[in-house]
Amino acid sequence: GDSWGIFTFLCAALCNLPALPALNCSEELGAGQSIQQTYDLTRYLEHQLRTLAGTYLNYLGPPFNEPDFNPPRLARAERVPSATVDLDLWRGLTDNARLAANYRAYSRLLCYLRVLDGQVGTAELRHRLAHFCASLQGLVLSIGGVMSSLGYPLPAGPAAPPARPPRAPAAPNDFLKKMDDFWLLKELQTWLWRSAKDFNRLKKKVPPAVVTLRLEARGF
């Protein structure tokens, strides 16, 4: 009947239409999302370090695990990158300079943490250190990604931190060796605290990622 004829005509017409544009929804992964992910990772590392530091300081024993222990920084510890910079001076740096300083510092701190990982005597603590080192290496790579997305060059040096830092003079006694470890954790805590603030401010300056619709013409 007429209905069947109309149906047949429509099917034939649809089969002979040129291909329609395909509608694709894709998320532009820009600097905003990269900064947000780096901020989230920094906060995660802060949380992770609180547990790790407590466990490691108990491993070192007294006086390092005492709450009021606050020794002066020794000359030996100066090889660990210090975060004790005046906050106003730090904020006065360009975004590029702060990102480069973070990238270099975490690359070096990661090297020293890997040395700790090979020296501790308990399997549980070695496992925690290894897990933290993996997360910290992810932070180094993430900071590099932020710099690239903003058009900043990476600091000169290897793309990935070496497995071991340059050999340093051995501590003359066990107490000074523990003091080195104490200051490594203390500086790392300060770096992560400040980095979280850096990335929180930076993500407010850079617009978040947007979802865009893109038409791909096919058959025209």
Q: What is the pLDDT of residues 86-136, one digit of tens each?
A: 788 888 899 999 999 999 999 999 998 988 867 777 888 989 999 999 999
Number of other CB atoms surrounding residue 40 within 10 Å = 14
Number of other CB atoms surrounding residue 180 within 10 Å = 18
* Residue 70: φ, ψ to 5°: -145, 75
CB 46 within 8 A of CB 196: yes
> What residue type is 163 in one-letter code?
A
User: d(Cα 119, Cα 56) in Å, to the nearest integer?
Assistant: 12
Q: Which residue has the tokens 């060796």?
A: 177
Give residue-wise pLDDT tens across range 177-191: 888 889 899 999 999
134's tokens: 């993996």
Question: Does 20 have pLDDT greater than 70?
Answer: no
Among the residue ranges 120-134, 151-165, 205-219, the one predicted with the least confidence is 205-219
Ordered structural domains, the chain, with CATH: 30-162+178-205 (1.20.1250.10)
Euclidean distance between the first and the last CA atom of the chain, given in angstroms as a whole number: 36
Query: Own/partner pairs for 46-52, CB < 8 Å, 24+ apart?
Result: 46/189, 46/192, 46/193, 46/196, 48/131, 48/132, 48/135, 49/132, 49/185, 49/188, 49/189, 49/192, 51/128, 52/128, 52/129, 52/132, 52/185
